[in-house]
Amino acid sequence: MRVTIVGTGYVGLVTGACLAVMGNDVICLDKDVGKVERLKRGEIPIHEPGLDALVTTNAAAGRLQFTTDADEAIDHGQLIFIAVGTPPGEDGSADLSHALAAAGAIGRRMSSDKIVVNKSTVPVGTADLVRGAIEAELGKRGVPHRATVVSNPEFLKEGAAVADFMRPDRIVIGSDDEAAIRAMRALYAPYVRNHDRIMVMDVRSAELTKYAANAMLAARISFMNELALLAEDLGADIEQVRIGIGADSRIGTSFLYAGAGYGGSCFPKDVKALIRTGQQNGHALKLLCAVEAVNEHQKLELARRIRARLGDDLAGRHIAVWGLAFKPDTDDMREAPSVVLIEQMLAAGATVTAYDPAARAEAERLLGPRPGLAYASRAMDALAGADALAVVTEWKEFRSPDFERMKAVMRRPVVIDGRNLYDPATVRAAGLDYCGIGR
C-alpha cells in the first residue's frame, strides 16, 4: 500500500520504517529540512535498538523515503498517518496545534479520497477536530473529496518499539467506516498472521484506550513507589512484596518495580492530559491526581537519601550518577528523574559526574554547560573520588559491577540504588553503604 507518515519523530519514524518492512511504499514527511537531509543520509535522530538498520535497509530498497515536499507526500498516500507531537500545554492539556496543522495541510492538498489515521496520542474528540479541519480546507477549495478519519493509537515502548510494532499485543482501530476498517486490516494483516490481535471499536473509545493504558501503567508504578516508602518504615522488603503480589495472575509482574519515579514522553504527559480531560468534563480524577503527586515526590527521593548520608550542605561533595535516560535502551530524557537529581545536587553545592551509554549528547543539549557538571565515558570513570553513587537508570551494564573496585575508587562508598538492581547483602559485604528503595 502507499502510505504517508506526517512527522518523523519517535512514533512516525518507527511506524514508517516498520510498515516499509512489509513491502509498503512509505513516504515520511517533515518540515524540518535538516532532519530530513540527515535521515536521507541514514542518520537516525533517536536511540532505538534496531531502528537504524530498518531505516537504512528499506531506504536503500526504495520502500522508505523522506521529504519536505507536502504536495508530493499527500498525493502519494492512500493512507496518511498523522504522527506529530502533542506536548502538554500550561494547563496540562494536550497541544493539538501540530495535529490540526497537519490536518489543514492535508485538506489543502488532497486530490482524491484519503484515509487519515491519527497515530499521535490525542484527547477524545480529536478525530472530529481533524475531520473538521480537513473539511474546512476542502470547502474553501470547493472539491468533493472525502477524508475518512481513523484512530489508531500507538502502544510502543521506548527501547523496544521495533519489536512492539512487529509483534504487537494489540492493534486498536477506531472507526465506523467499513472501507477504512478493511484498509487498516489489510495494512496490519502481515503483523498478525499467527493470531488476530486487531481490535475494532468506535473512534472515541480508541482515543480513550490509549490514555487509559498509560494511566493504568503509571498508576502501578506510583502504587509500588508509595508502598516502597511504607515498606521501609515497616522493615519489609518491597522486592519480596513485588514477587509475592506479581505471582497473582490477576496482577501479573509488569510495572511493579519501585524506583526513582517514571518519566519519558508518554506517562507524565498522558496522565496530565487525562486529568485535564476529566476536569473539562466535570470529573475530578482523584486517583490520577494522586498518581501524579506520588511520582513527583518520588523523583525527590534519591536526593533525600544522599542528604541523609552526606548532610544538607553538599559543598565539596562529589556525586556520581549512573543513568541519564528515563529508561534503558533510549536516549530520551524528557521528565527523567536524573534531571531532578542533578539539579538538586548542583543547587546544594555538590559537583556531579554522570554516565549514560546513550544519552550523553541529549543531556548536554538539555542541561547545557553547568559549573560542577561533567560527563564520563565509562561507568567506572564516573566514580573517581565520588562521595555517593546514584543509580538512576537500569541499563544492563550497571547490573553486575565490580563492587570491590567501586569501593576502591570512591572517596566514600555510598550507593543509592534507585532501581533496586543489587542484592543489599552482596553490596554491603563488599564494604559499601547500600541504600535501595523500599528495602
Active site residues: 266
Cα–Cα distance, 394 to 412 (Å, whole number):
22
Q: What CA–CA distances, in Å, run from 375 to 303, 359, 383?
A: 19, 11, 11
**Under 8 Å between Cβ of 222 and 287:** no
Q: Is 25 helix (H, G, I), strand (E, B) or coil?
A: strand
Cα–Cα distance, 312 to 146 (Å, whole number):
64
| Helices (runs of H) and strands (runs of E) counted in the chain | 17, 14
**Under 8 Å between Cβ of 184 and 117:** yes
Q: What CA–CA distances, in Å, run from 283 to 91, 123, 279, 344?
A: 16, 15, 5, 35
Backbone angles phi, psi at 295, to 5 degrees: -65, -40
Query: Among residues 112, 212, 129, which one has the least CA distance to residue 170?
Result: 212
Query: Among residues 145, 273, 116, which one has the least CA distance to residue 208?
Result: 273
